[in-house]
């Protein structure tokens, strides 16, 4: 039996509520969820409720927040709490995306706080880790991603870890057109999976993100270490996204 796969779309700062509804209107007709596949959407905060409503009722489809703040409420202008995201229809949350880390300066400690808030708030977290180009060239890839992972999950109980999904997204491959080879990704996925098992996660799932597109998704997912993909720009077109999530994987791909 084929392993379960997750196809996660990160819309970043694109698609306002009207555009999100238009995407859903184009995507829904004829869409038949495949057994063993899940389909996750991460719209911008202002489109979260519209996206959740427009995709409601589709089997194995879930919607999440791109970021949350760790405090439950208060004077934090511009921030979104877990409860606010959940109230808008989120059942997932993206945590520690490279753009939060490297554009907005999010620290490992802040990522850890967000992860705990998401777990406490009952959402499923998708935790992102990844190295920059100078780290890869210096042979520090495993050290960097494992540091980010351990900083986030330290002290998290095994029962909560079971809900965690991790995405490996090499920063040098995001939005650049450069993609880690399946073998490159598999090596890092193995290291992450082993660390998660040592921490008590019995069935760790690790996705790959970084310039994934319709042309390379089948090749990437043919690698057994990859449990799915986290897709940015290529997820914004409903027809292109449909072709990606319907990609055949394995000997017949």
Is 201 a known active-site residue?
no
The pLDDT of 155-159, averaged and rounded, is: 92
Rg (CA), the chain: 17
Number of structural domains found in the chain:
1
Q: Quickly state the pLDDT bin for 253 (edges 50, 70, 90).
A: very low
Report if residue 101 sits inside a domain.
Answer: yes
The pairing of strands 228-231 and 205-209 is parallel
Q: What's the CA gap between 153 and 166, in Å, rounded?
A: 11
Q: Is 228 exposed, middle or buried (0-12, 13-18, 19+ CB in 10 A)?
A: buried
Residue matched to tokens 């409720």: 49
Report if residue 193 sits inside a domain.
Answer: yes
Report if residue 66 sits inside a domain.
Answer: yes
Domain of 78, in residue numbers? 5-28+36-245
Report if residue 64 sits inside a domain.
Answer: yes
The pLDDT of 167-195, averaged and rounded, is: 90
Q: Quickly state the pLDDT bin for 174 (edges 50, 70, 90).
A: confident
> In the prediction, which pLDDT does 161 show?
95
Q: Quickly state the pLDDT bin for 2 (edges 50, 70, 90).
A: low
Question: How many other CB atoms sit within 10 Å of the CB of residue 207?
Answer: 25
Report if residue 252 sits inside a domain.
Answer: no
Catalytically annotated residue among 49, 99, 106, 169: 169
List the structure tokens of 122.
């009952």
Q: Quickly state the pLDDT bin for 104 (edges 50, 70, 90).
A: very high
H-type alpha helices, the chain: 17-27, 48-54, 82-87, 98-102, 108-120, 133-137, 141-153, 158-161, 182-198, 217-221, 238-245
Is 102 a known active-site residue?
no
Contacts of 241 (CB under 8 A, 6+ apart): 9, 27, 231, 234, 235
> In the prediction, which pLDDT does 3 show?
73
Q: Quickly state the pLDDT bin for 252 (edges 50, 70, 90).
A: very low
22-42 pLDDT, tens digit per residue, is: 999 999 999 999 999 999 999
Given a cut of 50, whether residue 81 has pLDDT beyond it is yes
Catalytically annotated residue among 49, 97, 110, 189: 97
The residue count of the chain comes to: 253
Given a cut of 90, whether residue 177 has pLDDT beyond it is no
Report if residue 251 sits inside a domain.
Answer: no
The pLDDT of 83-91, averaged and rounded, is: 98
Report if residue 151 sits inside a domain.
Answer: yes
Given a cut of 50, whether residue 240 has pLDDT beyond it is yes
The pLDDT of 64-73, averaged and rounded, is: 98
Q: What's the CA gap between 221 and 248, in Å, rounded?
A: 9
- For position 101, which CATH number holds? 3.20.20.70
> In the prediction, which pLDDT does 98 show?
94
Question: Three-state SS string across 51-118, please?
Answer: HHHHCCCCCCEEEEECCCECCCCCCCCCCCEHHHHHHCCCCEEEECCHHHHHCCCCCHHHHHHHHHHH
List the structure tokens of 62.
């879930």
The 8-class DSSP code of residue 4 comes to: P
Indicate if the alpha-carbon torsion angle 112, 116, 117, 123 is positive or negative: positive
> In the prediction, which pLDDT does 250 show?
57
List the structure tokens of 52.
């959740």
> In the prediction, which pLDDT does 173 show?
82
> In the prediction, which pLDDT does 1 show?
44
Q: Quickly state the pLDDT bin for 138 (edges 50, 70, 90).
A: very high
The pLDDT of 38-64, averaged and rounded, is: 98
| Helix (H/G/I), strand (E/B), else coil: 227 | coil
Report if residue 177 sits inside a domain.
Answer: yes
70 and 64 Cβ atoms separated by less than 8 Å: no
The pLDDT of 115-129, averaged and rounded, is: 98
pTM of the model: 0.95
197-238 pLDDT, tens digit per residue, is: 999 999 999 999 998 999 999 999 999 999 999 999 999 999
């Amino acid at each position: 039996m084929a392993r379960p796969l997750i196809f996660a779309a990160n819309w970043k700062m694109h698609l306002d509520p009207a555009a999100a509804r238009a995407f859903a209107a184009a995507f829904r007709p004829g869409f038949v969820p495949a057994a063993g596949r899940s389909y996750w959407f991460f719209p911008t905060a202002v489109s979260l409720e519209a996206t959740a409503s427009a995709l409601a009722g589709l089997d194995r489809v879930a919607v999440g927040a791109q970021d949350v703040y760790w405090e439950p409420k208060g004077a934090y202008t511009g921030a979104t709490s877990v409860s606010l995201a959940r109230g808008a229809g989120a059942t997932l949350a993206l945590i520690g995306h490279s753009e939060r880390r490297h554009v907005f300066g999010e620290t490992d400690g802040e990522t850890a706080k967000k992860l705990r808030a998401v777990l406490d708030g009952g959402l499923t977290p998708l935790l992102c880790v990844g190295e920059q180009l100078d780290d890869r060239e210096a042979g520090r890839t495993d050290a960097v991603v494992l540091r980010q992972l351990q900083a986030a999950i330290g002290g998290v109980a095994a029962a909560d870890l079971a809900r965690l999904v991790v995405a490996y997204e090499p920063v040098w491959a995001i939005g650049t057109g450069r993609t880690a080879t399946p073998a490159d990704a598999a090596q890092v996925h193995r290291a992450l999976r082993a660390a998660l098992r040592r921490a008590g996660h019995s069935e760790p799932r690790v996705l790959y993100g970084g310039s994934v597109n319709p042309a390379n998704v089948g090749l990437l997912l043919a690698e057994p270490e990859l449990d799915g993909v986290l897709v940015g720009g290529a997820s914004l077109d409903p027809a292109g996204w449909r072709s990606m999530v319907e990609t055949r994987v394995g000997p017949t791909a």
